[in-house]
Amino acid sequence: MRARASDLDRRKLLKGAAALGGGAALAGLLPGWAQSAAAGLPALTGEDIRLTAGHFPHRVEGRVGHAVGINGTVPAPLIRLKEGQNVRLHLTNNLAEDTSIHWHGLLLPFEMDGVPGVAFPGVRPGETFTYEFPVIQSGTYWYHSHSGLQEPMGHYGPIIIDPAGPDPVAYDREHVVVLSDFSFVHPHTIFRRMKAQGGVFNFQKQTVAGLLAGRDQTLAERLEWAKMRMDPTDISDVTGAVYTYLINGHGPADNWTALFRPGERVRLRFINAAAQTIFNVRIPGLKLTIVAADGQDVRPVAVDEFQIGNAETYDVIVTPADDRAFALVAEAVDRSGMALATLAPRAGMRAEAPPLRERPLGTMKDMGMDMSAHGGGHGAGHAAPAAADPHAGHGSGGHAGHAMAAAAAPVPGMAPPRVRGSDVMGHEMDMLDFSKAPQVEPGPGVQSIAPMPQDRTGEPGQGLESVGHRVLVYTDLEALHPNPDTRPPERALEIRLTGNMERFMWGFDGKKYSDGPPPYTFRTGERVRVTLVNDTMMTHPIHLHGHFFELVHAPVGRLPRKHTVNVAPGGKVTFDFTAEAGDWAFHCHMMFHMHAGMFQVFAVRDGAAA
């Protein structure tokens, strides 16, 4: 395996690992699969796998930071399993605090799910805990700590599960691409600063120069937003001001390189392991064919760019025909920085990186107040997806159209949209009308209620509305294999995603987890339709442990199955799922949102649901 100069420098950090209280002998080294121009994918395999959590130094672009992770590397070692095998994973805790590992996207007994206080007590310092479960699926997944804020410090790694039979995706070579964000500022310090001052890391606010140049909002729009105490540039809580965006532990200047031979079909397994960053991914000059989402095979979709939310995974096929380097770009959603790598036929090559694009602005639709029908709001004109069958040519009959219409139907009790625009006071009153969400508890943690939330699964993510090429949207996804459970849902549940951006308070239905709200209860085997309504101005990647849910938009029986879904600002997402017995975490995968209270439990029991 080729060793880079920076890798050799890392060996000098071994002495520093002891000073930081580390325990791994390979402190600061990258795992083999993550090294630049790696020839293969060395991995932890077999039925017994040993993992050790500890402190160690982590070098990013020549600067050394403090990491918490597994086996002394960031990212953690690649775990490669086979569908149908049994596995025992032994986690030893060399930290001075409790730790844990959650196997993200894996279907397993809830006691093995790895969430302290929900599935098990956690792993105390000096102890070893053994996770043991059968592997009943295949695909691209990952693992990470579910204790405190260890994950943002490097406690995450990839999992690849090879299928028991032939892989439906043909490829000649593969590369695992773990996207993440890393800060030399401790995550607890970042959290305290966000609690103390809204928008503290936003250095892309609107200016007078932007107003005069026509780049930003008009004066009238600025006044409207100011009266509603909202900032249209507040796209990400934590930005490139304190984050370095990484690919497989490498910063943009490190030139991590994935090799190919011209004409090969290359499978890129993308995992967004970032704490707080949504990425927009593209490889200028290459088409990206999406073949799997969250580890589940989908009918191939060719796009030029895709947005990947925190904790999502996408498998992509590219076929570079030219003997040249290509830039692999993962741009932060707020355009404050990017992760950058190279796809090349030889090590040492580098493609020119495209410049950062203009940062996006929030719109009236992001407030759940779509004014496009009557010309109001910055960026009006992006119509909501039609409530029609997007796959009419697939022989789905009227069922898919019915499902799509059900997903897009107004929430009961919602006021009809206005025919005309209204003044600022009218907007303010609409955004505080709790009659539209009777389950939400009014309080300082609820800044607004979306008056007219729309299904936005047919829209590209923020900032991608006018990029001039094809961007993946959720309604493009259709399961390659028939859904295992096609029963209609027995009941419906609406959950509101609530928050106060200025006070950095987040929760579900107006309550943060530390308030002790009762869990959402279900009956084992019950089919339930859940609608998530985002009452905030930020995208929330929502993850349900221990399940795959089906996004309600494709032909019946071919609904795409996911474990994590982005819920757009002012938007809503509808999914069906079959409840599996146990207590399952349900939360936003923005780590600081979860830490602030956007966390709940799905409690599934035999007998009637409460």
Output the domain CATH number for residue 300.
Answer: 2.60.40.420
Cβ pair 60, 131 in contact under 8 A:
no
Residues 445, 564 within the same domain: yes
Global confidence as pTM: 0.83
- Give CA 393 to chain center in angstroms: 31
- Position 82 in a domain: yes
As for how many domains the chain has, the answer is 3
Which residues of the chain fall short of a pLDDT of 70?
Answer: 1-29, 37-42, 198-234, 362, 364, 366-429, 431-432, 608-610
Residues 187, 317 within the same domain: yes
Cβ pair 247, 340 in contact under 8 A:
yes
- Position 120 in a domain: yes
Mapped onto helix, strand or coil, the DSSP state of residue 226 is: helix
β strands within 47-127, DSSP E: 48-60, 63-70, 79-82, 86-93, 102-104
Q: Which of 300, 319, 352 is the last residue of a domain?
A: 352
Rounded to whole angstroms, the Cα distance separating 332 from 319 reads: 25
Rounded to whole angstroms, the Cα distance separating 282 from 92 reads: 38
Q: Which of 334, 352, 370 is the last residue of a domain?
A: 352
- Position 402 in a domain: no
CA nearest to 333, candidates 371, 361, 295, 364: 361
The end-to-end CA distance of the chain, in Å, is 57
Cβ pair 200, 185 in contact under 8 A:
no
Residues 121, 138 within the same domain: yes
Give the strands of the sheet with 326-332, arranged side by side. Answer: 256-259, 338-344, 326-332, 279-282, 306-308
Q: Which tokens is 358 given?
A: 């203009």
Q: Which of 165, 184, 207 is the last residue of a domain?
A: 165
Rounded to whole angstroms, the Cα distance separating 104 from 456 reads: 25
DSSP 357-398: PPPP---TGGGT---GGGT-STTTT-PPPPSS-TTGGGS-TT
Length of the chain: 610
Residues 142, 183 within the same domain: no
Residues 285, 172 within the same domain: yes
User: Residue 575: which residues within 8 A CB-CB, separation 6 or more?
Assistant: 529, 530, 532, 549, 550, 551, 552, 562, 565
Cβ pair 500, 538 in contact under 8 A:
no
Residues 190, 289 within the same domain: yes
Domain that holds residue 317: 167-199+234-352
- Specify the pLDDT at position 498: 96
Residues 47, 188 within the same domain: no
**Strand 549-551 and strand 571-578: pairing?**
antiparallel
Query: What residue type is 350 in one-letter code?
Result: R
| CA angle (420, 424, 429) in 5-degree steps | 90
Residues 299, 326 within the same domain: yes
Residues 95, 139 within the same domain: yes
Chain mean pLDDT for the chain: 84
- Specify the pLDDT at position 49: 99
- Specify the pLDDT at position 57: 96
Residues 457, 515 within the same domain: yes
Q: What is the DSSP letter of 29?
A: P
- Specify the pLDDT at position 361: 78
Q: Which residues of 499-527 are buried (b: 16+ CB within 10 A; e: fewer)?
A: bbbeebbbbbbbbbbeeebeebbbbeebb
Exposed/middle/buried for 193, CB within 10 Å: 0-12, 13-18, 19+? middle
CA nearest to 55, candidates 128, 125, 190, 153: 153
Cβ pair 318, 289 in contact under 8 A:
yes
- Please name the helix (run of DSSP H) or strand (run of DSSP E) that holds residue 188, with its range, or none: helix 187-196
User: Residue 509: which residues within 8 A CB-CB, separation 6 or more?
Assistant: 437, 439, 440, 441, 495, 496, 498, 517
Digit-coded pLDDT (tens) for 563-599: 999 999 999 999 999 999 999 999 999 999 999 999 9
Rounded to whole angstroms, the Cα distance separating 34 from 21 reads: 24
Residues 462, 485 within the same domain: yes
SS3 track for 105-153: CCCCCHHHCCCECCCECCECCCCEEEEEEECCCCEEEEEECCCCCCHHH
Digit-coded pLDDT (tens) for 289-313: 999 999 999 999 999 999 999 999 9
Q: Could you tell me the CA-to-CA distances from 182 to 31, 142, 521 in Å, in that order? A: 17, 17, 36
Residues 457, 503 within the same domain: yes
Q: Which tokens is 501 given?
A: 């951006």
